[in-house]
Amino acid sequence: MLAPGFETHRVGGEQVQQSLLAKAFVRWGYDVSMVTGDYGQLDGQTWEGVKVFKSYGAREGLPVIRFVYPRWVKTWMALRRADADVYYTSCAGMQVGLLAMFCQRHKRRFVFRIASDRDCDPQRLLIRLRRDRWLYEYGLRRADVVLAQSEQQTEALRSNFGMASVIAGMLVDNPDGYRTFAERDIDVLWVNNLQTFKRPDLLLDLALRMPEASFHMIGGPNDPRLYEQIKRQAQTIPNLDFHGPVPYRQVGEYYDRCRVFVNTSDFEGFPNSYLQAWVRGVPVVAFFDMDGLIEKEGLGRSAVSMSVMTESVRRLLTDTSAWSQTGTRCRDFMAKHYSESHILQPYMDAFGRLTE
């Protein structure tokens, strides 16, 4: 996300958000560092004002003992080199516990942000190892501030962990311009990492139900077996173009070209893809509607079944007046609620309290 030349590595929603936030804080006068994996970059390199310290390589170390070295040790070494007043991380995982321990030992402050609804429920965490689940809960309970993406997440965190949180929104890159319905040549766009709970199979089903529409599918191989299966099936559907992974710097062009964005996931956090669509005036039709926002603000359609999704997409593609009105609401909503200053305020408030 930060460094040209490293686009072959997988990027998900939180890598996008963490990078956008880091660059924004630089613009607002903060001294920003980031700790990442070791992808072959030089340690301490700076990209767009963000100084990056590397920790460990994904395949580095021997099984079992590699949790301690290199993962724990090299993570702490990189955190030490960053020498920050406040440390921030997002996504449930072992790094939350390691960061909390580091901040306790070195008397630094720690902010954690929820990335998915499952981060708020100990029974549904997307963490495989019991050790890592323990480390996540250990770190979560020791965060100085917990930020959430939605009211639904704040309530789940309160109910399941007895913890309070503050809602903090997400940043989005603004497009260079706006295209009319006639200037777009992709009817339906799907962008997500290919994982079972993202339900990529339902996008194939939708394409088969609507042979008159053009579909484009973008996603990286989170699950290699599922990826190859979906790729093979997609290649048999004439009106579906399967692109596989597309670098973040290039994916905006597909949003510019599309008329409707579809999300088939069983659950999410707050998808970056919704923001990338809405800021371009693209309606979103999805099964997942955080806090009922899509329906409440008229930003597309919250679907409860495949038949409703099909009907909703078809109406937007055939009724250009309805499409234009929805697109205008999307752009107005983003202008009102997603300016950089508005989104950064809860983060800056938290940082300010912690550094007083």
- The Cα–Cα gap between 207 and 237 comes to 8
* pLDDT higher than threshold 90 for residue 8: no
Q: In whole angstroms, how large is the CA radius of gyration of the chain? A: 21
* pLDDT higher than threshold 80 for residue 115: yes
| Domains of the chain, residue spans | 13-171+340-355, 186-337
User: Residue 81: its pLDDT value, please?
Assistant: 98
- Which residue(s) pair with 215 in the sheet? 188, 240
Q: How confident is the model at residue 6 (pLDDT cuts 50, 70, 90)?
A: confident
Two tokens at 46?
């700076």
Please write the tens of the pLDDT for every residue from 301-346: 999 999 999 999 999 999 999 999 999 999 999 999 999 999 999 9
Please write the tens of the pLDDT for every residue from 131-174: 999 999 999 999 999 999 999 999 999 999 999 999 999 999 99
Please write the tens of the pLDDT for every residue from 35-76: 999 999 999 999 999 999 999 999 999 998 999 999 999 999
User: Residue 222: its pLDDT value, please?
Assistant: 80
- The Cα–Cα gap between 106 and 108 comes to 6
Hey, what CATH topology would domain 13-171+340-355 get?
Rossmann fold (3.40.50)
Share the mean pLDDT of the chain: 95
- Which residue(s) pair with 146 in the sheet? 112
User: Residue 7: its pLDDT value, please?
Assistant: 72
Going by C-beta distance under 8 Å and a sequence separation of 6 or more, which residues neighbour residue 12?
193
> For the domain 186-337, what is the CATH superfamily, name and number?
Glycogen Phosphorylase B; (3.40.50.2000)
Please write the tens of the pLDDT for every residue from 258-294: 999 999 998 887 889 999 999 999 999 999 998 899 9
Please write the tens of the pLDDT for every residue from 197-252: 999 999 999 999 999 999 999 998 888 999 999 999 999 999 999 999 998 889 99
Going by C-beta distance under 8 Å and a sequence separation of 6 or more, which residues neighbour residue 350?
111, 145, 147, 166, 168
User: Residue 155: its pLDDT value, please?
Assistant: 96
CA nearest neighbour of 189 among 207, 171, 168, 164: 207
User: Residue 86: its pLDDT value, please?
Assistant: 98
Two tokens at 234?
């997609």
User: Residue 284: its pLDDT value, please?
Assistant: 98
